[in-house]
Amino acid sequence: MLLIACPWCGERDELEFHYGGQAHVAYPADPEGLSDAEWGEYLFVRDNPKGPFAERWSHAAGCRRWFNVVRHTVTHQILASQSNHPVAAGQPKPVIA
């Protein structure tokens, strides 16, 4: 069982999370311009490393937010857990007018 650190809620049991696969896979800027091979690569091919892997998790049974984790795929050690959201980075909560 993995103990995953949600950037907002802290460490929680794996059961509260949903897995999202490789992180940082951007939607193609110009999908119409891709060849079949490039589109197939975007749709179906992901990194599958034996070692550190940057991946997406969602705190499905908690705050329901997505964030990134770097996990070692052999030891399952979680090396980093982060969000791009400024609150999670320790910055003051943005003021909503």
State which of residues 9, 75, 79, 86 lies at the interface with another protein (CB under 8 A). Answer: 75
Got the DSSP string for 40-96? HHHHH-----SSEEEEEEE-TTTT--EEEEEEETTT--EEEEE-SSTTTTTPPPPP-
Q: Which is nearer to another protein, 74 or 80 (CB)?
A: 74
Least gap, CB of 8 to another protein (angstroms): 20
Tell me which residues touch another protein (CB under 8 A): 1-2, 14-15, 18-19, 21, 36-37, 40-41, 43-50, 53, 55, 71, 73-76
